[in-house]
């Protein structure tokens, strides 16, 4: 049986920098010798696969070992499915990777990095890995989180986010496991 690599999700509202963050993490983790796979969740069936400028094309261009688009009716592997496919069933399709980054999967039980947008997403505290914010929102984020134990990163601080992921590698799995 294939050992499941560390998995975490990057979530946030549209236009909050999720793709930019994931692209930076792909580059940084690969520079450290890790192989990275990305699974993009497309619950509303909007996704385009491999079109220039699409998330899947961007993740591939960064050098991701595998990129998968998953929706309720299809996988980017163009295999018909009848329901949302759990990431655990998709990960083996990524081949030998050291990390799997999920883009989306807001309601699924995975550790999450949340891209700050001003209005907070509902995330169970046990699922929250870190909050990533745009530099312009620094004061607001620090103010709203000053009495919380939330791990905070500027979204441009890719090196420290990757350091954090390395240090917490054993905690990057389905939260209930």
Return per-residue pLDDT of the chain as tens, 177 residues. 557 899 999 999 988 999 999 999 999 999 999 999 999 999 988 877 778 888 888 998 999 988 899 989 888 764 567 888 889 888 988 889 999 999 999 989 999 999 998 877 788 889 999 999 999 999 999 998 888 889 999 999 999 999 999 999 988 886 555
Torsional class of 33: left (φ above 0), alpha (ψ -120 to 50), beta (otherwise) = left
63 domain-assigned: yes
CATH number, residue 36: 3.40.50.300
Contact 103, 9 (CB under 8 A): yes
3-state class (DSSP) for residue 155: coil
DSSP 91: G
Cα–Cα–Cα angle for 25, 61, 91, rounded to 5 degrees: 65
108 domain-assigned: yes
2 domain-assigned: no
93 domain-assigned: yes
Bridge partners of residue 70, in order along the sequence: 41, 75
174 domain-assigned: no
- Distance between CA atoms of 83 and 73, rounded to whole angstroms? 6
107 domain-assigned: yes
Tokens of 168: 């917490």
3-state class (DSSP) for residue 4: coil
Helix H or strand E encompassing 36: strand 36-41
118 domain-assigned: yes
Tokens of 131: 């909050």
Domain hosting residue 162, numbered range: 7-168
Number of domains in the chain: 1
């Amino acid at each position: 049986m294939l050992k499941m690599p560390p998995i975490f999700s990057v979530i946030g509202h549209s236009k909050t920098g999720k793709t930019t963050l994931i692209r930076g993490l792909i580059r940084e983790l690969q520079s450290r010798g890790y192989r990275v796979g990305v699974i993009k969740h497309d619950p509303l069936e909007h996704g385009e696969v491999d079109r220039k400028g699409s998330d899947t094309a961007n993740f591939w261009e960064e050098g991701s070992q595998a990129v998968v688009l998953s929706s309720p009716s299809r996988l980017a592997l163009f295999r018909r499915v009848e329901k949302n496919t759990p990431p655990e069933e998709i990960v083996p399709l990524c081949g030998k990777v050291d990390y799997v980054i999920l883009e989306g999967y807001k309601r699924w039980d995975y550790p999450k990095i949340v891209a700050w947008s001003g209005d907070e997403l509902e995330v169970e505290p046990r699922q929250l890995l870190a909050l990533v914010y745009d530099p312009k929102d620094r004061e607001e984020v620090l103010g709203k989180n000053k009495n919380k134990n939330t791990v905070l990163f500027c979204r441009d601080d890719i090196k420290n986010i990757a350091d954090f992921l390395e240090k917490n590698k054993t905690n990057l799995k389905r939260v209930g496991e």
